[in-house]
Chain A
Amino acid sequence: MEELTLRKFESYCTQEDPPACQCRCPVHVEAGQMLAKLASGAVDEARKILERYLPLASLTAFLCDGACLEKCLRANLDQSVNIPLLEREIIVNGRATRLYPLPPTSKRVALIGAGLSALTAAYELARRGHKVEIFHLSTPGGTLNSLAEDKLPPQALVEAIDLLESLNTDFNQVQSFEPQWFEKLKKEFGAIFLSLDDPDLLPQSLGLNGELIVDPVSMALKDSNDYLFACELTQSYPMSNLISSGKKVAASIDRILQGANLTAARENEAVRESKLRVNLTGRKVIAPIVPSNSGVYTTQEAQAEADRCLNCSCLACVPPCPLLRSRKGFYPKKWTREFYNNIITAFGIRHSNININSCSLCGLCSSLCPNGFNMSEFIDLAKLDMVVTNHMPVSAHEFALEDQLFSNSKPAYFLRPQKGFKSSAALFFPGCQLTASLPKAVRDLYKYLAANFEGGLGLWSACCGAPGRWSGRRKFTDSTISLLRTDWEAAGKPEVVLACPSCRRFFLSEIPFIPIRSLWSLINSLPLPSSAQPFSGELSIHDPCAARLDTEGQEAVRAILSKLGQKIIEPTFTKTTTLCCGYGGLASLANPVIGQQFVLERLQSTTEPIVGWCAVCRDRFKEQQHPALHPLELLFPQLSPKEAMEQKPPTISDRRYNRAAFAKEMLKDIWEEEIEEEKTMNLKIEISDKVMDDMERRRILISDVTAVLEYTEVNGPMFLNPESGRQIACFRPRQVTFWVEYEKKDDLYIVTKAWSHRMILKSAPGPSLDSPATLEGYARSGGRV
């Protein structure tokens, strides 16, 4: 992946842009953090933050003119947080942070005039170790001396001057400013700053008679050879602008003295608009706290006022996503950096492989992000990169890839025109998961569609290829697309009717040349099947994440349920913001823990049974013992709705069996084709529910156990426990070695344990430990070698 790609994705996430108040503040005080400290009672910590941004804070905090107030987002709810008054509170009650100036340098800087900008510049320069000499006519402070006591306590200025003197700054009172004196000064000092906010200093007195033009970034005077600097030249000299002028000038002079570029990377010093997006929905109105003691807050009042700060942040996508919130303080920008660093790791462990493979590609972040940041697009690129560089963990997706190959090979795959037709006006493509979960309902659905369809509706039982794409395997996906394309072209390039939302998304992005149609719109255009019956209670409708943007499908499913008389309720997150069940992107396969968090998140707010129009979503809800139905179970019921929603979901072995059985039954019943039975040993095998549960978690198929036992039948077991009578055997039919512990009673195998590993024991003789079959060959044979 190119770094530019990372930057592009990063730019969509605005979480790291400072809040509006901080961008508007001329010195960019991090008000959110400061007020959070103050609200929690940590006033010393609050002062530390203030002093980090505000030069000579013990003086300047009294002079802040609150430019931030116009930008505070709380103004949209009630009234801006009174940050200027709280800054005073922090300075009055917080302990000053101990200063650690840098070691003295040999550089000398002259400041002419002793206005506010000179004092702040002197502070910043002296802290950096430079010798500062201020030349002034009258009392230092300029106009500050004439401020009323309630605006600026007189001791604040005195203390500020004392502090500067303790910091290697000399105050030199002179009788007058003159051109010759100024020329002499130029030869003596590394840089000179003109504090034009000091009313005593007139540029003409220094012989500067032309118009003075100040560069807004560096504050350098035009044509001064980056040697003379001045504060901002305005009529009114707002206090906060003078403070920021002093700070900017000090930074410029420091750059000049160190030989650094004067203007590079300074764009964030200017006042600007914040890009941070903040959602105010649900934020409470809190009336501003009015100071009870003649304009000054008590400690409690200050804390309460500080607590009104919204602590602006975006994080719109983080709370609902189990992956994005799985690391504290992380948001998309940090995650993309983490993922990028992971995939460019040259040596060592790629710790975030698991996180990359934990994204369900559900697109919820994109729906919630004000800028449309889409993590699934980034993850897609990251996975492609991992596969190409051979860094994709092989075990993460292997089971799904085998499943895909199984669905697209002999026992399960077929394409036939409608019986009695030579060609097809359209093909119905139920998808591999629907035939795995609801084979009988799909059978009835096809018969119903075919009876109502003009021109012939063929049937195409296959996997679209989405799992391969989710795993980042481009070549694998391309070979699936090639298979589908060949058969579709041979069928006369008809329109394809899609039932599965993931198939629909895959067809749209990967096989766009095949025209598609929504099953749900088609059903909605036909009379309801006579078998249709609603559930007596309310059902919570669930839109699959792949159908997040499929408004046509969403509306059609609701219309069908409405015609059926089915009462439905909408969950909080629905349609474009629907929550993923965790199967998407094969997240639950690569990381079962996060997969479960996804599904539990969806179930959290729902007590009613669910009706969801994706077979996998339905099954994953059922796995969590939440009653769930697919709409086809209401339209073509095999059981009553109550029985159907409480029936156990199919196991991984059932799913493969159902796909093959669907093909076999349909080809026999409708097309009158006999499928040759596979030759097996027909061993009698007994597996308890507990062992089946373990096998389900470990992704071990019944056919895997059968393969071990068939091998054992020929070659004998390997180990025996004389006391229990149990035996152990293993077999490695592909990239995995399967182990089975069993008891044998006459010709019955009673399986007591099944487990597997992927490591190869090279020196161990006995059963073939090198894979005798390719992954593809094994899967196509349904697990038999």
Chain B
Amino acid sequence: MGHAFAKFDAEGWNCKKCGRPLTPCSVNVEYMGSSFFVELPGCQECGFILIDDELALGRMLEVEKLLEDK
């Protein structure tokens, strides 16, 4: 599960606040009582994490459903 979302594709997107490009950040994700770390694009400075539509409606949705059926 640790690398469930190990996909980094935030090309062209910067943090609005500090202007930095997004880099891989380790993030703690939680759902239905399960918690795990994944790497997601985000701003190292501000801590904002970007979950794009492809990830949210693809792999992340699959894992959500899996956890709901557990």
Please state if B61 and A761 are interface contacts (CB–CB under 8 Å). Answer: no
Chain B, 54-70, contact with A by CB distance < 8 Å: what is the 0/1 string? 00110011011110111
**DSSP class of A's interface residues: helix, strand, loop or mixed?**
loop
From the candidates B14, B57, B63, name the one contacting A719 in the complex (CB within 8 A).
Answer: B14
Please state if B31 and A758 are interface contacts (CB–CB under 8 Å). Answer: yes
Instruction: For A719, give the chain B residue with the smallest CB separation.
Output: B13
Is A766 part of the binding interface, using a Cβ–Cβ cutoff of 8 Å? yes
List of B residues within 8 angstroms of A741 by Cβ: 53
A719-B47 Cα distance, complex, nearest whole Å: 12
Interface segment among A402-410, A563-571, A721-729: the answer is A721-729
Chain B, 22-63, contact with A by CB distance < 8 Å: what is the 0/1 string? 100001111110010000101000111111010011001101
Please state if A760 and B31 are interface contacts (CB–CB under 8 Å). Answer: yes
Please state if A721 and B66 are interface contacts (CB–CB under 8 Å). Answer: no
List of A residues within 8 angstroms of B50 by Cβ: 718-719, 728
Is B16 part of the binding interface, using a Cβ–Cβ cutoff of 8 Å? yes
Please state if B15 and A718 are interface contacts (CB–CB under 8 Å). Answer: yes
Please state if A719 and B56 are interface contacts (CB–CB under 8 Å). Answer: no
List of A residues within 8 angstroms of B65 by Cβ: 393, 395
Q: Which of B22, B50, B66 is packed against the most chain A CB atoms within 10 Å?
A: B50
A720-B69 Cα distance, complex, nearest whole Å: 36
Closest-CB distance, A401 to chain B (whole angstroms): 15
**A721-B12, A765-B46 known; A698-B17 Cβ under 8 A:** no
Please state if A720 and B48 are interface contacts (CB–CB under 8 Å). Answer: no
What is the total number of residues of chain B having a CB less than 8 Å from a CB of chain A?
34
Please state if B46 and A766 are interface contacts (CB–CB under 8 Å). Answer: yes
Closest-CB distance, B27 to chain A (whole angstroms): 6
Q: Which of A698, A727, A737, A759 is packed against the most chain B CB atoms within 10 Å?
A: A759
Closest-CB distance, B11 to chain A (whole angstroms): 9
Instruction: For A396, give the chain B residue with the smallest CB separation.
Output: B68
**A762-B35, A763-B28, A764-B49 known; A727-B16 Cβ under 8 A:** yes
Instruction: For B40, give the chain A residue with the smallest CB separation.
Output: A761
Please state if B28 and A761 are interface contacts (CB–CB under 8 Å). Answer: yes
Q: Which of B13, B40, B61 is packed against the most chain A CB atoms within 10 Å?
A: B13
A761-B48 Cα distance, complex, nearest whole Å: 10
Please state if A760 and B68 are interface contacts (CB–CB under 8 Å). Answer: no
Please state if A764 and B13 are interface contacts (CB–CB under 8 Å). Answer: no
Closest-CB distance, B10 to chain A (whole angstroms): 8
Please state if A756 and B56 are interface contacts (CB–CB under 8 Å). Answer: yes
List of A residues within 8 angstroms of B49 by Cβ: 761, 764, 766
List of A residues within 8 angstroms of B28 by Cβ: 761-763
Can you name 28 A-B pairs with beta carbons within 8 Å? A350-B70, A393-B65, A393-B69, A394-B32, A394-B68, A396-B68, A698-B57, A716-B17, A718-B48, A719-B16, A720-B15, A721-B14, A723-B12, A724-B12, A739-B51, A739-B53, A753-B53, A757-B61, A757-B64, A758-B64, A759-B64, A761-B29, A762-B35, A763-B47, A764-B47, A764-B49, A765-B47, A766-B49
- Which residues from chain A sit less than 8 Å from chain B, CB to CB? 348-351, 353-354, 393-396, 698, 716-724, 727-728, 730, 737, 739, 741, 753, 755-766
Give 6 new A-B contacts, CB below 8 A, not counting A730-B51, A764-B48.
A354-B69, A720-B13, A753-B53, A755-B53, A756-B56, A761-B29
